[in-house]
Structure 1
């Protein structure tokens, strides 16, 4: 009994995961479409209907609609090609090759995207039977049944809104960036082991894969917000998350450059003459600015993923506080670094580059920069969504002659 309860608890925790939701809804749609096709189609085993339902039913309503249309277009195009070939030539090796080639070309012309092979598959299945006309119309009917059932399942079983998983992905990315910033401040500047510095550089490069994962999760969230009646501010949610990811992506690029700079400093220290001993003040100041920058990155992620206004205000206040402390630490670090460069001017370019990279990260995370970027995106969206008819009404009319 305890084992059954444990399985149910784990299932309850996983029931909103994309793979679980997709499996349940696709299975339901496939079975229902097969049952309906058995009654309406003359085919003894109408597997085209469940196959269509499996391909049509996606995690979001928007992708279901777009996929269903492309799927139906591909099947209809293949069937029409097969009917035309059956009237002109029989089935042979050369006609089969010509049929496949024509189907693939037509698939690209009608823009069915990933369903281009389905055009050729439909044409071959129809051309390979004796009663071409009957099989052709049955295949079209089964395709319509599968697409209709798939769409009906998505309407009845409301697809989830994937803003939560996208927000979790953004938070995970911010956590990894925060750890990297903390690691950069663990060793004295210019006296880091080369292998350790190179490890941090590889860690920064791996952020590109993390960004790609977050981008995929965000695209899924954006699709789930489209045509979803349960979401009233879909555009705002989408732009908040998208602009937030853009900021983190810029910071990740700057962090990679900063890791490259610290690696070059470590190599210069290892290969060059013995430099001055590590400055405890510079080390402490750098660690402080990087630690507060790491906290600012976490606060920024909390700000863009906050769903309640109170949480958003708290995250914004925390972000502003961390940036203020990081800015003060940065000024102290810059003063100490300038004094160090005056005493030992070697590698001053790398020290200056590191300071500029810290400035860039702090600037990208600032509340004012965040607000400015979000307002620009909202304004751009409003301009692109403005009805053409309204723009035509606003144009000055020319006076009629005479």
Structure 2
């Protein structure tokens, strides 16, 4: 018996996850809109209402308020077009093509934005089930019911906060960057064919796709924090995650350049190890501490509890200090290597410069500086918006009959 209830228990444990919450909200909004439409519409199966509710219930409250009007415009425009076509010609192959063309044009006219295709989708759905003009207006009522229910659900039942999935995506990205550093370190002391070095370069290039996916998750999290009454410091959370991802993106680019440098170095040493044994050990030690620092940095920017943040910051500072000591030892060894092999000084110098850039980007001081710059930029934007609002208010007061100012300011 306990095994039979295992799936239910897993669902109950996950009931706070954003995906589960959003699924329940969308289902509830569709059902409620259908029940209301059954009472107010004369249609026996008013499916347009739950359809519209599903379209309007957005993932975040911010996206609902910013895109809800355009989405409603697109649905209503499509329904009205379908009403006209159903009254005149009904559904044929040529009327279907004509209504799609007209819907896409009308979508531009009503400024539906990215929801222009939904004008055609709504029109086709309504045209397929609406053959009689007398019942077509019920579709408009159902559309308005679904839109109203969808908007009310997002206002009364605030959408979930997607910070958790975004934090997990950032942590996974840092884990893949650490794995790349570990793979590179494992090959430094041995003979590395060009093909193997190029494989690491391709692995570094795949980080670009990972960053794009993390950026999409972060944008969703940023929208979920905006205008959300359950979040007190939404701006700070957004900026911490965004600046943190920017840092990891820079580090990923530098790691890709380092892999390019190692690949070029492998071409110059087709039968020998990439580096001398002492240099290889020093670079392995540097990359090992850098890998832990990358992971600690991700834990720092995604920590939601101050104690966890303090521990992550202390661990990050310790690893960076140790990595810089390893970097200094590596610089001394590379200097001797350059004297022995002056033709490779550019590649060795590039490895050192790239390591310096990663350590600098991961530094706590750099992170605080970048965060303060973003906070200042946001404050300036807010002041500019408020200044425009004050100027507009002043113009409106001046335009009133009793609001004229005398030359003396009385």
Q: TM-score, normalising length from structure 1?
A: 0.88
Structure 1 residue 372 and structure 2 residue 369: aligned?
A: yes
Aligned partner of 2:10 in structure 1 is 10
Q: How does 1:159-170 map to 2 (within 5 A)?
A: 159-170=159-170
Match of 1:153 in 2: 153
Counterpart for residue 223 of structure 2: 223
Correspondence 1:356-367 to 2 at 5 A? 356-367=353-364
Q: State the match for 1:28 in structure 2.
A: 28
Instruction: Please report how far the alpha carbon of residue 394 of structure 1 lies from its aligned counterpart in structure 2 after TM superposition.
Output: 8.9
Write out per-residue CA displacement over residues 168-218 of structure 1, whole angstroms, 9 at most, x where no aligned residue. 111111111112112222233684233332222122112112112211211
Alpha-carbon spacing, 1:400–1:259, altered in 2? closer, same or farther (3 Å): farther
Supply the distance in 2 between the matched residues of 1:5 and 1:162 (Cα, whole angstroms).
28
The answer for the alignment partner of 2:63 in structure 1 is 63
Matched positions, count: 396
Tell me the alpha carbon deviations over residues 116-157 of structure 1, each in whole angstroms, 9 at most, x when there is no partner.
23323444566675653x444322211121122223333444
Classify 1:372/1:394 alpha carbon distance in 2 versus 1 (closer, same or farther; 3 Å).
farther
Partner residue of 2:321 out of 318, 324, 331: 324
Checking the alignment, whether the CA contact within 8 Å between 2:52 and 2:147 is kept in structure 1 is: yes
Structure 1 residue 39: Cα displacement = 0.5
Q: Distance in 2 between matches of 1:277 and 1:389?
A: 59
Stretch moving more, 275-284 or 346-355: 275-284
Would the alpha carbon gap of residues 28 and 206 (structure 1) be closer, same or farther in structure 2, given more than 3 Å must change?
Answer: same
Render the CA deviation track for 1:335-390: whole Å, top value 9, x for unaligned.
Answer: 10110110122322211111111111111111111111111111111111226453
Structure 2: how far apart are the matches of 1:374 and 1:190?
Answer: 41
Instruction: Give the aligned partner of residue 45 of structure 1.
Output: 45
Q: Supply the RMSD in Å over aligned alpha carbons.
A: 3.0
Residues 18 and 161, structure 2, Cα contact 8 Å, conserved in 1: no
Aligned mates of 2:314, 2:162 — CA distance in 1: 27
Identify the residue that residue 279 of structure 1 maps to in structure 2: 276
Runs (5+) with no aligned partner, structure 2: 396-404
2:295 to 280, 298, 303: 298
1:142 aligns to 2:139 (yes or no): no
Query: What displacement does 1:265 show?
Result: 1.1
User: Could you tell me whether the CA contact under 8 Å between 1:49 and 1:145 is conserved in 2?
Assistant: yes
- 1:284 deviation in Å? 1.5
Matched, 1:119 2:116: no
Render the CA deviation track for 1:89-113: whole Å, top value 9, x for unaligned: 6567766544432321121233323
- Give distance in 1, aligned partners of 2:156 and 2:336: 69
In structure 2, the partner of 1:205 is 205
Distance 2:157 2:131 in 1: 40
Any conservation in 2 of the 1:190–1:262 contact (CA below 8 Å)?
Answer: no
- 2:26/2:57 contact within 8 Å kept: yes
Tell me which residue corresponds to 1:250: 250
Determine the C-alpha separation between the residues in 1 that align with 2:132 and 2:272.
Answer: 88
**Normalising by the residue count of structure 2, what TM-score does the alignment of the two structures yield?**
0.87
Q: Deviations over 1:292-342 (max 9, x none)?
A: 111111111111111122322222222222111111111110110110110
| Corresponding position: 1:385 with 2:343 | no
Distance in 2 between residues matched to 1:392 and 1:231, nearest whole Å: 26
**Where in structure 2 are the equivalents of 1:328-343 lying within 5 Å?**
328-343=325-340
